[in-house]
Structure 1
Amino acid sequence: MLKTMLPLVLSGLVGIAAAQPAQITVTNVAADSVLKGLYNRSRYQASTAIDKVSDIAPDMFQQVSADSLSSYLNKLVTFYNRNSGSDTVSTTTGIGAARRWVYSKFQEFSAQSGNRLLPSYLQFNQTICSVARHRDIFAVLPGRDTSNHSILIVEGHMDSRCENNCDITCKAHGADDNGSGTVLTMELARVLSKYTFNQTLVFLVTMGEEQSLYGANAFATYCKNSSIPVKAVQNNDVVGGIICGPSSSPPSCPTKGAKDSTHIRIFSLDTNFSMHKAYARFVKGQYEKWLKPTAPIPMEIMIMSPVDRTGRGGDHQPFSDIGMTAVRFTESYENGNGGATSGRQHTTRDVISEGDTMFVNFEYLRRNTQINAIGLIGAALGPQSPDLTLTETTQHNVQVTVTGSTSPVGTYKIAVRTTGNNDFAVVYTLQGGTTFLLPNTVANTTYYVAVA
């Protein structure tokens, strides 16, 4: 992964606060032990380890399936209403039936991967829409690194809503918001559980997002209270649509009916100097290296300046608010701004399709799933990030010196950008050494440098 950038000048939305959950419990003891680093790693290794990015990337690209995503989402919308306060007893409708179905799919994926994937609930007490107890669903794929117990989380919230925040009787399909992020997370659990990674992966489906990010806050609190080192969080929320609605939370799309199936936005906390923006750039770099050159329809990843869309929030924020690296993936063109007067979000109109119009485009969702996957793969298999120092030479040039962790292959990537740019302007390759003199530097210019 990239080391946080360091600046050198040559001479010449606030996190959403939620009340704290109580009695947080992981129902699967084995999953709890793995997350805390207390397990025998040999117990969970594949009989034949597929553990190189160069091998996993092309295989994953083929394995992620639009048909699988479609089958999951077409089932998910049949539960009628997935409000966090909805029915938990019925076997066919409500949040309870929906979460049991997701849990059963995680069990199915585990059986397909030699029982290496550990499904669990995270149960917590907190009053949401008059219901006092709730459950996130998650699955853990144990890592093999005995010296680094950090975990990577990919997540999407499953709860849906209509115009009234606690309406438990309306037909809240929640196809794009956020069935799309839910099924993306499920598909990643299916596909990635066949591979072997250094770090543990967590596939998390949360509740209570629509009321105040409660489910994500409960999981973040659990990680903090249990001293679980979180390497990064990839939150997916509203990631399947390509049609601009009559309203859209800015910065987003231009006019109603406009379409965009080749861009995805990544939002994160703080300035472009933050660890969150650094991780967004890392994901973009992994995609551009491993997938984009051969992708039939290449995607453009837009690294956004704000933590989220104007006036909106998401499940990445409870993590980043307590100092954990976290980002949010969101489609380029949204259909709605969360209000009840226009667009499809938070209404009974948030459906997969109407007539010949697809409001969730499964090929676009597949591409976003692949982008998420390559970010997780690179972060879960990459070596420990090196450190770097920057010095100004007597000739007023910038010298980069790599320190700390050494590259196992003797190669480093040196990335450079200037003030006001979220993206790197240029990436250099350093081989056979640990010092590099940046070319073409200009006096009185601030440069941000990263090394990987």
Structure 2
Amino acid sequence: MRPQFFLLAAALAALPAAAAEPGAARRQAQIDQIVKQISPARIEATIRKLVGFRTRHTMSDTVSETEGIGAARRWIKAELERCGAGTPLRVEFDSHVAPVSARISRPTEIVNVVATLPGTQAASVARMYVVSGHYDSRNTDVMDATGDAPGANDDASGTAAVMEMACVMAKYKFDATLVFMTVAAEEQGLLGAAHWAEQAKQKNLNIAGMFTNDIIGSSRDEHGNQDDTQVRLFAEGLPLQKENSEAVRTLIQTGGENDSLSRQLARAVKEAGERYVPKFKVNIIQRRDRYLRGGDHMPFLERGYAALRFTEPAEDFNHQHQNIRTENGVLIGDLPQYNDYHYIAQVARVNAAALSTLALAPAAPQKVQVRTARLQNDTELVWQANSEPDLAGYRIVWRDTTAADWQHALFVGKVTEFTMPQSKDNVYFGVQAVDVDGNVSPASYPTPLR
């Protein structure tokens, strides 16, 4: 029997005590500290400040210091600069002029506020993880730029979560680069996010993962039922394309529809989030977004990046995209009293834990392949070596074809090939990179090596 068989048998026997497995994911004190420092009180204060600008409609006032989107973006930038003082956090406006379109009645400057925390490891600094919330708001009429549009949940909640993460995490060091964005013109057609994503594509930036937080403010549905124990994480499978790319054709050919870059990222986010935020479920929804709806992760998906969306368990549509009014004794509108600030903090903690883990871990292995030169029941996996100096080795993960999440893992050390005594026909495989501290990358799906 080959040595790999003994290794596999030993690993499977030890699965109930997975923490003892070499190469297993381990809790990091730094991430525990970050999660602990996320403050519901600060998140609430930020949301109430944003609501205080009365409207943050994309085409609202840009001159006033107290009302409109201009005042809001200047305050966001100043606040990020204040909390990032003395840290490497770099805060900038990202601006472009949007022409007249279906939801833009006149040429309008669209301004994102972008806070970048550079990575500290030379081998990882070019790898980036992006998190966003949109700070613009709207009421019932998407073209109404003057009426009250508090947008406390949609999406001051996501904006406040991103700002809180930036302020807390700026005081820590990460191998890879983190980008915290509050973007504009989501309600007018995802314009701010699309501009930044397109610039990233043109610059060939290495965005290894992106997630947006949009409508994460309430733990109650329209009937008043509360669920503060989970968050939805939307993850696209096969991308929407007029013609399938070679990569997509390979996924379809090998049955890997559930192993897209975004689904692999979602599994990593779920694992990290649930590890550091106990009794809080990251519920992966295997869809690009809610049914026929969209968000700021979509421009990233359309440019080939792995991207996800966080959203509360059940939306109450009386509290989004609504003029403030009272009907049948019920106050309608996206108002701050309908938010659950402890819930928003929980979602922010999941985000922060996932971002921290991803930015401390090695990159996902590249050029992972299955040798197919001969027919056999074993599976020969090969991959390209990572370049990180703190790499400990690689972990092979696998699951049944009917399972959504990884079920088994085997640390195989610092090698670039390994033979699994299991058929590629019957399970799905992935390969992860692990560093010396136990930070684990997302899995890479193996493609055929002919």
TM-score normalised to the size of structure 2?
A: 0.76
Residue of structure 2 equivalent to 1:278: 264
Residue of structure 2 equivalent to 1:103: 77
Structure 1 Cα separation of the partners of residues 425 and 90 of structure 2: 54
1:414 deviates by 2.7
Residue of structure 1 equivalent to 2:137: 160
Question: Is 1:380 aligned to 2:359, yes or no?
Answer: yes
- AA at the equivalent of 2:320: Q
Question: Is 1:237 aligned to 2:218, yes or no?
Answer: no
CA, structure 1 residues 264+437, in 2 after alignment: closer, same or farther (shift >3 Å)? farther
Contact 2:362 / 2:391 at 8 angstroms: preserved in 1?
no
1:371 to 350, 362, 371: 350
SS at match of 1:176: coil
Contact 1:53 / 1:377 at 8 angstroms: preserved in 2?
no
Residue of structure 2 equivalent to 1:225: 202
CA, structure 1 residues 432+306, in 2 after alignment: closer, same or farther (shift >3 Å)? closer
Question: 1:302-348 deviations in whole A, cap 9, x for unaligned?
Answer: 11111000121000011110111211111111112xxxxxx221013
Question: Is 1:208 aligned to 2:185, yes or no?
Answer: yes
Matches within 5 A, 1:180-219: 180-219=157-196
1:402 deviates by 5.6
SS at match of 2:143: coil
Question: Is 1:300 aligned to 2:281, yes or no?
Answer: yes
SS at match of 1:139: strand
Residue of structure 2 equivalent to 1:265: 232
SS at match of 2:84: helix
Matches within 5 A, 1:18-417: 54-111=28-85, 114-127=86-99, 128-148=104-124, 149-245=126-222, 256-271=223-238, 272-289=258-275, 291-292=276-277, 295=278, 298-336=279-317, 343-347=318-322, 348=324, 349-353=333-337, 359-387=338-366, 388-390=368-370, 396-398=377-379, 400=381, 403-405=384-386, 408=390, 410-417=392-399
Contact 2:90 / 2:117 at 8 angstroms: preserved in 1?
yes
Where relative contact order (Cα < 8 A, 6+ residues apart) is larger, the structure is 1
Structure 2 Cα separation of the partners of residues 225 and 399 of structure 1: 36
Structure 1 Cα separation of the partners of residues 354 and 412 of structure 2: 24
- AA at the equivalent of 1:152: Y
Question: 1:201-222 deviations in whole A, cap 9, x for unaligned?
Answer: 1110111101110000111122
SS at match of 1:175: coil
1:262 deviates by 0.9
Contact 1:213 / 1:314 at 8 angstroms: preserved in 2?
yes
Structure 1 Cα separation of the partners of residues 29 and 60 of structure 2: 44
SS at match of 1:350: coil
Contact 2:365 / 2:431 at 8 angstroms: preserved in 1?
no
SS at match of 1:212: coil
- AA at the equivalent of 2:283: M
Residue of structure 2 equivalent to 1:24: none
SS at match of 1:134: strand
Structure 2 Cα separation of the partners of residues 198 and 67 of structure 1: 30
Question: 1:217-257 deviations in whole A, cap 9, x for unaligned?
Answer: 11112212223221211111011211112xxxxxxxxxx33
- AA at the equivalent of 1:287: G
SS at match of 1:89: coil
Structure 2 Cα separation of the partners of residues 116 and 433 of structure 1: 33
Structure 2 Cα separation of the partners of residues 409 and 270 of structure 1: 29
Structure 2 Cα separation of the partners of residues 401 and 150 of structure 1: 23
1:70 deviates by 0.9
Question: 1:78-109 deviations in whole A, cap 9, x for unaligned?
Answer: 11111101111111111111111101101101
Structure 1 Cα separation of the partners of residues 409 and 424 of structure 2: 20
Residue of structure 2 equivalent to 1:16: none
Structure 1 Cα separation of the partners of residues 181 and 143 of structure 2: 23
1:446 deviates by 4.5
Structure 2 Cα separation of the partners of residues 431 and 270 of structure 1: 28
Question: Which moves more between the two structures, 56-65 or 129-138?
Answer: 129-138
SS at match of 1:138: strand
- AA at the equivalent of 1:60: I
SS at match of 2:410: strand
Structure 1 Cα separation of the partners of residues 359 and 369 of structure 2: 25
Unmatched 5+ stretches in structure 2 = 1-25, 239-257, 325-332, 434-450
Structure 2 Cα separation of the partners of residues 273 and 180 of structure 1: 30
Contact 1:84 / 1:129 at 8 angstroms: preserved in 2?
no
Contact 1:418 / 1:448 at 8 angstroms: preserved in 2?
no
SS at match of 1:79: coil
- AA at the equivalent of 1:284: K
CA, structure 1 residues 420+308, in 2 after alignment: closer, same or farther (shift >3 Å)? farther
- AA at the equivalent of 1:81: T
1:54 deviates by 1.4
Structure 1 Cα separation of the partners of residues 28 and 429 of structure 2: 29
Structure 2 Cα separation of the partners of residues 101 and 364 of structure 1: 24
Structure 1 Cα separation of the partners of residues 259 and 424 of structure 2: 21
Contact 1:209 / 1:315 at 8 angstroms: preserved in 2?
yes
